[in-house]
Amino acid sequence: MTISYLNLLLGLLLLLVPGYLLYAYDRLTCRKAVVAFVRMMVQMAAMGGCLWLLYRFDSLWLNLLWLVILVAAASFLLVSRTQLQSRVLFLPSCVGMFVSVLAVSAYLIYAVLRPEASMTVRWFVPVTGVLMAHVLLTNIHGVRTYFDSLRQDSQPYFTLLGNGATRLQALAPYITRALRSIMVPAMANLSVMGLFVLPMLLSGLLLGGMPPVVAVSLFVVLAIACLAASLLSLVLILWLADRRAFNRQGQLSGNIFT
């Protein structure tokens, strides 16, 4: 399947419908929409150039470099959304997301999708892209829940420490809250995924020539892999950020928040 420049232009003509309506009734929103569209086109052009290089050379090292760039960008976004100091969270989030996404991707490609799949760009880039998007969104909620709970309700933590519990045991209730903040939305999404998300994803897989049964099976496996990568990355991030977030007395440092 190919899309020529003429076909692309015909597709872009659909912008005339929302463009005319917004220009006629809400010009402020129309200007914002134009800016957002131009920004999206620049981002997609840059993304297309990167993907062209990846598919042109199809090197494992370029694939890993692609993952490193994704992880670095996701870590910057995670730090900004959680309002924590970058010195506390940036490096742990980089390591946690890189290890979890790479490990789950390798397992998914070599153990589940084999023998057709390998760590080539055809499988590596789509799988890691899906996992990274899910891991980033869930980790924002998980990390924010963990540190906000410690900041707003630290009394149970100090009570457990005073009763002889280890720091890990004292932090267990807060880790549970963070994991629950990931699991509850994930279970809610899974309950409606078959009605709303599944048709959209299946459309792309079917357009790519994949048989329907294989497409459904791949979708189910990817959903499970996203959940596994999210939980693993959250635990790794919290564990790696522990020494940076707490002082030697076991107290949460007051200057970790921006």
What pLDDT does residue 103 have?
Answer: 94
- Per-residue pLDDT at 224 exceeds 70: yes
Determine the straight-line distance between the first and last CA of the chain, rounded to whole angstroms: 49
In our burial notation (b when 16+ CB lie closer than 10 A, e otherwise), range 141-175 reads bbbbbbbbbbeeeeeebeebbeeeeeeeebbeebb
Q: Is 257 helix (H, G, I), strand (E, B) or coil?
A: strand
- The CA-CA-CA angle for residues 14, 20, 21, to 5°, reads 105
Tens of pLDDT, residue by residue over 93-113, are: 999 999 999 999 999 888 887
- Per-residue pLDDT at 45 exceeds 90: no
What pLDDT does residue 197 have?
Answer: 54
What pLDDT does residue 232 have?
Answer: 94
Q: What is d(CA 122, CA 151) in angstroms, rounded to the nearest whole number?
A: 44
Mean pLDDT of 53-59: 83
Between 135 and 220, whose confidence is greater?
Answer: 135
The type of residue at 216 is V
Mean pLDDT of the chain: 81
- Per-residue pLDDT at 30 exceeds 70: yes
Mean pLDDT of 126-140: 88
Q: Work out the number of other CB atoms within 10 angstroms of the CB of residue 86.
A: 14
Rg (CA), the chain: 22
- Per the CB < 8 A criterion, the answer to whether 240 and 92 are in contact is yes
Q: Percent helix, strand, coil in the chain (nearest 5)?
A: 85, 0, 15
Mean pLDDT of 229-240: 92
Q: Lowest mean pLDDT of 2-11, 80-89, 145-154, 234-243, name the range.
A: 2-11
Q: What is d(CA 160, CA 142) in angstroms, rounded to the nearest whole number?
A: 22
Task: Report residue 8 as tokens.
Answer: 């692309």
User: pLDDT-derived band of residue 250, with 50, 70 and 90 as boundaries?
Assistant: low
What pLDDT does residue 10 have?
Answer: 81
Nearest-CA neighbor of 126 among 197, 37, 221?
221
Task: Report residue 111 as tokens.
Answer: 């153990």
**Which residues lie across from 257 on neighbouring strands?**
84
pTM, two decimals, is: 0.80
Nearest-CA neighbor of 154 among 249, 86, 13?
249
DSSP class of 250 = S
What pLDDT does residue 68 have?
Answer: 93
